[in-house]
Structure 1
């Protein structure tokens, strides 16, 4: 499915909350992560803050309905992906890939040196998916301070440290 990608608007927020909840249902098939299906979502205030202070992109279908979204923030010269979600009924159709490719191109055009993120090591639609786009898993010893803090926060939120990893795509090598 080919989607148009544009900036997130405040009028998108209700749909983005639905998308995040729908996307989280995929974790029901992984017993140790099933709790994520009922975990807290980004609030309206979170979305408002991200729209005003970060980079927000939404994929839309021909009817202008949101199908997925991505938030990112500047960390030094890196563009850190905060959140990426695709509607659960539309997953595995290339929407997440299109959003990531758009953000990678955006980072390249706006002189970011890297795109970074944190994700699950062993969830097939996480680390292996990002690797297919050229991201590389970082050793814990190579994590910049902000990624160390992001993973520490994830552990405080209930994630098993061994299940999480940080990844990087060097923009300059593209």
Structure 2
């Protein structure tokens, strides 16, 4: 699996991935989530230019370098916050989400950040229970930072609080950035706080995880 910085030409494909990844929510009675629009192209472009949008591809497969999943991240307080991570259901159960998060952990560690954080649905099997299996823990209310509280408030305004949600955190050290079963050479991309990254593949992380 190859993890690389997103290209401008990838962005419409990321919207397709997001639409497809939302469909399983219908089976849980969460059509509101399934029907939510994907991130607009200008927002995806802002993440790409800031160096905070990565995609996973499998160049040795029939899909070539086409994105199979993607992750967006924001610096929030002392952590790198996972704004969105989505995988094409057609490529599920290949460890793609785990690889994207492992790459994000490496990037956060390289920047001196102490943790990854995210917000997610409590009772959706591929949300909080999945993240708990890869090293995240639920934060109690008194543990929430100002940044996480602001994110939760924005989600509530969007209507996501009609189902239980939690904030989760995975503390990082240089030795613990990658989960068990992943290994390989990693090149950490630059993650500027202002736009300016070129429209190229950027730095690439290659790993042998499943």
TM-score, normalized by length of structure 2?
0.77
The residue number in structure 1 matching 2:7 is 9
The residue number in structure 1 matching 2:206 is none
Query: Which of 157-166 and 117-126 deviates more?
Result: 157-166
TM-score, normalized by length of structure 1?
0.93
The residue number in structure 2 matching 1:47 is 44
Matched, 1:91 2:92: yes
Provide the C-alpha distance between the structure 2 equivalents of 1:45 and 1:34, rounded to a whole number of angstroms. Answer: 25
Structure having the higher strand fraction is 1
8 Å Cα contact 1:54/1:73 also seen in 2: no
Provide the C-alpha distance between the structure 2 equivalents of 1:54 and 1:120, rounded to a whole number of angstroms. Answer: 27
Shift of residue 156 of structure 1? 0.6
The residue number in structure 2 matching 1:126 is 127
Corresponding residue SS for 1:98: helix
The residue number in structure 2 matching 1:60 is 57
8 Å Cα contact 1:54/1:71 also seen in 2: no
Shift of residue 162 of structure 1? 5.7
8 Å Cα contact 1:81/1:115 also seen in 2: yes
User: How many residues are treated as equivalent by the alignment?
Assistant: 171
8 Å Cα contact 2:77/2:145 also seen in 1: no
Structure having the higher helix fraction is 1
Provide the C-alpha distance between the structure 2 equivalents of 1:50 and 1:38, rounded to a whole number of angstroms. Answer: 23
User: Which runs of structure 2 are paired with 1:7-156 in the superposition (5 Å)?
Assistant: 7-31=5-29, 33-53=30-50, 55-62=52-59, 63-156=64-157
**RMSD value, Cα:** 1.4
Give the gaps of 5 or more residues in structure 1: none
Provide the C-alpha distance between the structure 1 equivalents of 2:163 and 2:140, rounded to a whole number of angstroms. Answer: 12
Shift of residue 141 of structure 1? 1.6
Deviations 1:77-127 (A, max 9, x none): 210110001012112221111111111122122211111010011111111
Query: In terms of Rg, which structure is larger?
Result: 2
Q: Greater relative contact order: 1 or 2 (C-alpha under 8 angstroms, separation 6 or more)? A: 2
